[in-house]
Structures are given as C-alpha cells and as structure tokens.
Structure 1
Amino acid sequence: MTSAITRVVKVTAAETAPNTRRGGDIRVTLSPRSVGCTSGFGGVLTLEPSDHVTEHYHPYSEEFIHLVSGRLEMSLDGERIALGPGDSLYVPIGVRHRLVNTGETTAHCAFHLSPLAPRPELGHVDTEEALRPEMDDPDVGGTP
C-alpha cells in the first residue's frame, strides 16, 4: 500500500514566531496551526549558554528531543540527564522536565510532541514561573 502526498508544506524556522516566554528561543514550525497536521507538532529550540526552559509537563503528549549541537541537561522528575550532540531523549506523558544549557556554546535541538492535546491550551502545564510572563505564547502548548 502506498500513500500519496497530497500537499507538501515547508516551514522555515527563521520565518516562525519565536516563543521566549519560558526561556530559550522555541519555534514551533510544524503544527495544526501552521500546516494543518493532526497527529502532533514539532520545531526547533535554540538555547544560549546558562539559559534554560522552565519546568513543565505535557498531560497528553510524549516529547521527543534530538540535540544537534551543544550540551544540555534535562531534568526528568528531578533526575538529571546529560545530553551531547547526536543524543535523543524521550519524555513520557506527564513527566515534569526542565532543560538547561550546561555548555559554553549555543545549543540547537529539534523536538516533536504527540499526540495532540484535546485543545492547545491544555497541552502544557507550567510547574515553574515563566521567565518572560509578559511575552505572548504564539503556539500554546508548543514548547519542549
């Protein structure tokens, strides 16, 4: 059985609105809002040295992170896991996680979450105060 691609949609991270509310520069590139997908969403994260993404969890989605460059440390329910270039990490549904750049260079990673929450505003639960609460959240629930 073959599947036919009915529509190709390319999204460039540089043309995507940054989400800096919880730390770093998070860009949700592929989402129901941007391309009409129905099974999940994903994008890229840039994190400067010593910067972090505040702790949160996803009550409906698994998260998949792949570090392209830099050094990161992910806390999963308080357990710290070091990540280097080429490492991938799975974050199960409901697990609190916080990401910190522990290196001396900018870190770049890609992420994907699925399945989608019933509504975007239900997809992300903060357990730590946002670093920039005044910032708009361009794609609610769309952060690693």
Structure 2
Amino acid sequence: MRTDYAKIEPFITKDGSIIRELMHPDGGGSEKQSVAEAIVPMGSSTLAHRHLVAEEIYHITTGRGLMTLEAEVFEVSAGDTVLINSGVAHKLENTGSEFLKILCCCSPAYSHEDTELLE
C-alpha cells in the first residue's frame, strides 16, 4: 500500500497542529496504526493534550522547539525522537525560525475521540 503526499489534504487537529495523515486505517490501508506529518508554525504551539489509549512517537524532521511531557520540558530539534506514552499530557512549541515538522506515529491509530484537550 502506498499513499501520495501531494494528494493528501492537510487538516487542523484538536491540538491545533496542521496534519497530513500519511497512513491511517480510515484511508491508506493500515490496520492498527497511523503515521502523520504534523506542522507547528513559527511562534505557535499545540494545545496541551493527552491520548488515553494511543501511544505516540514524535520524530522531529525539521526545526526546533520545546517539548512538554507532564512537568518535564526539554528542547527538541531535527533528528530527535520522543516517546509519548498513553495518558501522558504533552505539548510542542515551535521556538525556531522555520516550520517545526514532525512525523507522528500512533498506535492504535490517531482519533479525535482519543484526544483530551487540557487547556
């Protein structure tokens, strides 16, 4: 199964990031997981949120920012990978001068219903 990046329409998730679902059970052929490109524009951040069921892995592909996992805050930049266990509150802020782009892998697949906003 293959998806075509140019044909994938971006949308805004509940946390405020710009998302392109690269592979998802609802359209792409995967059965149990999803991978998306998320973009956080310069000077902005996602809303603090958590997923009660899904575990996420963020792999930073471009830019830099501040990652918040519960009370821990640390810098991230291109090449870094962050594990976000289910139930863990998290937020990502773009502190750089270019788009902060990440690959976001979710298992089970991302759903709006599993996203609880915390702010």
> TM-score category by the smaller chain?
0.7 to 0.9
Query: Cα RMSD (Å) of the superposition?
Result: 1.7
In the TM superposition, residue 98 of structure 1 has moved relative to its aligned partner by: 0.8
Q: Which runs of no fewer than 5 residues in structure 2 stay unpaired?
A: none
Match of 1:136 in 2: none
In the TM superposition, residue 116 of structure 1 has moved relative to its aligned partner by: 4.1
Q: Distance in 1 between matches of 2:90 and 2:78?
A: 19
Q: 1:13 to 1:56 in 2, by over 3 A?
A: farther
Instruction: Please tell me whether residue 102 in structure 1 is matched to residue 95 in structure 2.
Output: yes
* Structure of larger gyration radius: 1
Q: How many residues align?
A: 118
Match of 1:123 in 2: 114
TM-score by length of 2: 0.87
Residue aligned with 1:43, SS? strand
Q: Which runs of no fewer than 5 residues in structure 1 stay unpaired?
A: 1-8, 129-144
Q: Distance in 1 between matches of 2:113 and 2:105?
A: 17
Q: 1:100 to 1:14 in 2, by over 3 A?
A: farther
In the alignment, is the contact (CA less than 8 A) between 1:23 and 1:51 conserved in 2?
no
TM-score by length of 1: 0.74
In the alignment, is the contact (CA less than 8 A) between 1:24 and 1:51 conserved in 2?
no
Residue aligned with 1:10, SS? coil
Instruction: Please tell me whether residue 33 in structure 1 is matched to residue 26 in structure 2.
Output: yes
Q: Identity of counterpart residues, as a percentage?
A: 25
Residue aligned with 2:26, SS? helix
